[in-house]
Structure 1
Amino acid sequence: MSRTGDRPTMSRDINPILKQILELGPTIAFFLIYIRIKDDMFTLGGTEYTGFIVAAIAFIPILLAAMGILWWLTGKLSKLQIFTAFVVIFFGALTAWFNDERFFKMKTTLVYGTFAGLLGLGLLRGQSYLAYILSDMLPMRREGWMILTRRLTGCFAVLAVANEVVWRTLSTDLWVKIETFAFPIALMAFLMMQMSLLQKYLIETDTSASGDGSRGKSDG
């Protein structure tokens, strides 16, 4: 059970495939809209916009709708999802206001860079903020959490730098494809590889026991 202010709310599980659709669907929708209108120009309020900027603007309500459905079905949203939505809205608004696609491209750098910075700050304090967020779902010893946090901090930093290189040196078409597919696939592959390497740090839980303290704890 989670709490919103003073009002308790129940977290609910949903079909994992539906959850993935709601989380990844907006990005795929942005890609499809962009591919469809990338060569077109649109006049809105007397200002002419490229297909990329229109697709970026359309991405915002699609993302908010998907997050609203996810919250309605599960009763919760992660802090990372809320932060990402805020960044998308902020940089999407800047993109529309200044009619400059560079703002929307930079948002990916900010998201990955912020994740790297926050995890790195925790490491400097001798803590794993990752464990604080995920330890309930993935019981693991402190040593494992610290290793994973260090590696993920480096991964996010590399992705942030890679995004800067890609959008500044390659075409918009290539950036959209890399942003939509390459970055998420690289991150997913990295995480899957880490889970394999960190198996020895996982804490096994005894689902047949209840209230006997058999479940391990991570001190993150």
Structure 2
Amino acid sequence: MNDAAANNRAWVRQVVDFGALGAFAVAFFITRDLITAGWVLAVASGVAIAIGYAVEKRIAPLPAFAGVIALVFSVLAVVFHDETFIKLKFTVQNGILATVLLASLPFGKYPLKWLLGDVFPLTNEGWRRVTINYGLYFAAIALVNEAVWRTQTDATWVKFRIVVVVLAIVFGGLQVYLLKDHLLKDEETGPTTPDPGL
């Protein structure tokens, strides 16, 4: 793959990962209505997933999961005329991710290895550590989200959602630094027996 193609794909990944949230924030600050913004989030998530599939010929699991959750909770908000569902979506989404990651640890199966193993070739110990780190991160975000939406204004909560995006980028970069000692060497990334813990 040439550099231009790689750059284009990286740009598309950014749109898939952050475009829907950006559309949600813009819709809220224009309409000041969380239910309307929730619908924008659901539609934008679908569009972002479609763009990602058109470019990469695959559906990225995490954006797809977030899109489905957004659609479900947006429908609930409209049906019950209750914007609380829009706020709960973030708690449920992060709570599920935390549960899946932390519950995988006793079995030695690391979902992040399945999702990112081609991009970040880590040792099994590296995948165990990154699974713990992200499991605790998602759990903390779910708990903080509950505290923020229950005690702050809608506008403050939406700003918090934007801050979490920046935090996620910083946290992800920090993992690369912390796990550099667990990167597989070039000779270890060749043909090997599939890891049963995958």
- For the aligned pair, the TM-score class normalised by the smaller chain equals 0.7 to 0.9
**2: CA distance, partners of 1:126 / 1:69:** 34
TM (norm. structure 1) is: 0.79
1:187 alignment partner AA: A
Per mean C-alpha deviation after superposition, the further-off stretch among 58-67 and 111-120 is: 58-67
**1: CA distance, partners of 2:155 / 2:190:** 49
Q: CA RMSD in A?
A: 2.0
Q: Which runs of no fewer than 5 residues in structure 2 stay unpaired?
A: none
Q: 1:100 aligns with which of 65, 79, 82?
A: 82
* 1:195 to 2:189 alignment: no
Q: Which runs of no fewer than 5 residues in structure 1 stay unpaired?
A: 1-11, 39-50, 207-212
For residues 131-175 of structure 1, what are the alpha-carbon distances to aligned partners after superposition, in whole Å with 9 as ceiling and x for unaligned? 122212211111111111111111111011011111111110000
Tell me which residue corresponds to 1:172.
154
TM (norm. structure 2) is: 0.88
How much does 1:127 deviate?
Answer: 2.6
> CA, structure 1 residues 93+16, in 2 after alignment: closer, same or farther (shift >3 Å)?
same
Tell me which residue corresponds to 1:54.
36
Identity, in percent, stands at 26
Tell me which residue corresponds to 1:215.
190
User: Moved runs in structure 1, 4+ residues, more than 4 A?
Assistant: none
> CA, structure 1 residues 148+214, in 2 after alignment: closer, same or farther (shift >3 Å)?
closer
How much does 1:130 deviate?
Answer: 1.6
For residues 104-142 of structure 1, what are the alpha-carbon distances to aligned partners after superposition, in whole Å with 9 as ceiling and x for unaligned? 100001111111100111102233222122212211111
Q: Does the 8 A contact of 1:120 with 1:153 survive in 2? A: yes
1:198 alignment partner AA: L
Equivalence map 1:6-45=2 (5 Å)? 14-38=8-32
**2: CA distance, partners of 1:140 / 1:170:** 40
Greater Rg over alpha carbons, structure:
1
Per mean C-alpha deviation after superposition, the further-off stretch among 54-63 and 106-115 is: 54-63
**1: CA distance, partners of 2:54 / 2:186:** 30
Task: Count residues in correspondence.
Answer: 190
**2: CA distance, partners of 1:97 / 1:214:** 51
2:41 alignment partner AA: F
Q: Which has the higher helix share?
A: 2
Tell me which residue corresponds to 2:92.
110
For residues 166-189 of structure 1, what are the alpha-carbon distances to aligned partners after superposition, in whole Å with 9 as ceiling and x for unaligned? 11111100001111x211211221
Q: Does the 8 A contact of 2:46 with 2:67 survive in 1? A: yes
**2: CA distance, partners of 1:216 / 1:143:** 20
> CA, structure 1 residues 110+155, in 2 after alignment: closer, same or farther (shift >3 Å)?
same
For residues 34-81 of structure 1, what are the alpha-carbon distances to aligned partners after superposition, in whole Å with 9 as ceiling and x for unaligned? 11121xxxxxxxxxxxx2211212222222112112111111112222
* 1:123 to 2:123 alignment: no
Q: Does the 8 A contact of 2:9 with 2:56 survive in 1? A: no
**1: CA distance, partners of 2:75 / 2:117:** 35
**2: CA distance, partners of 1:112 / 1:55:** 19
> CA, structure 1 residues 133+62, in 2 after alignment: closer, same or farther (shift >3 Å)?
closer
Q: Does the 8 A contact of 1:205 with 1:216 survive in 2? A: no
**2: CA distance, partners of 1:118 / 1:81:** 16
